[in-house]
């Protein structure tokens, strides 16, 4: 069990009672006292102007950009994200998703302390041209 000293926004732990994470996530993440949880609906790779790239990597970058815009609306940054769930269409899109996610994570989590994150490979999303969707749970200070 380890605390996350470089991100005081939450306590992340990877208990030794199970295998370590196989990716960029923590097994357990606890928001600090005095925070409310905000549930962010699945974000897809459509720009605010309505543009949708055909590539899973570009869609992933837009997914995180949209999530970043919503975090800004809440008055917080990515360090307040405690959990994400991502859906990627088909295993053929995993590499592009992973590369784009890693690029965003380098900026959002420079110390390597990640939120809990689950990934599901699916046959399709709400529209045939959507390749990536990510939802999030955010810990927002009660006074924000």
CATH code of 89's domain:
3.30.1330.40
Q: Is the pLDDT of residue 1 over 80?
A: no
Does the residue 39 lie in any domain? yes
Number of structural domains, the chain?
1
Does some domain include residue 25?
A: no
11 domain-assigned:
no
8 pLDDT tier (thresholds 50, 70, 90): low
Would residue 60 count as lying in a domain? yes
86 occurs within a structural domain? yes
10 in a structural domain: no
Q: Model confidence at 7, in pLDDT bands (50, 70, 90)? A: low
Backbone torsions φ then ψ of 94, nearest 5 degrees: -65, -40
Predicted TM-score (pTM) of the model is 0.88
Q: pLDDT per residue over 12-45, tens digit each?
A: 888 899 899 989 898 888 888 899 999 999 999 9
Res. 113: pLDDT tops 60: yes
What's residue 14's pLDDT? 87
Specify the pairing of strand 81-89 against strand 116-122.
Answer: parallel
Domain assignment of residue 100, given as a range = 34-141
Alpha carbon distances (Å) from 86 to 15, 80, 122, 131:
23, 17, 10, 10
């Amino acid at each position: 069990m380890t605390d996350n000293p470089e991100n005081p926004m939450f306590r992340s732990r990877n208990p030794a009672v199970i295998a370590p994470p196989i990716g960029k996530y923590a097994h357990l993440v606890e928001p600090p006292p005095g925070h409310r949880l905000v549930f962010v609906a699945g974000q897809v790779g459509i720009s605010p102007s309505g543009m949708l790239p055909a590539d899973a990597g570009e869609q992933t970058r837009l997914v995180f950009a949209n999530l970043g815009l919503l975090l800004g609306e809440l008055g917080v940054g990515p360090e307040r994200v405690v959990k994400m769930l991502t859906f990627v269409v088909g295993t053929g899109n995993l590499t592009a998703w992973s590369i784009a996610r890693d690029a965003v994570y380098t900026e959002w989590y420079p110390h390597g302390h990640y939120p809990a994150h689950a990934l599901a490979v699916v046959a399709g999303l709400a529209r045939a041209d959507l390749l990536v969707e990510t939802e999030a749970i955010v810990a927002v200070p009660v006074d924000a």
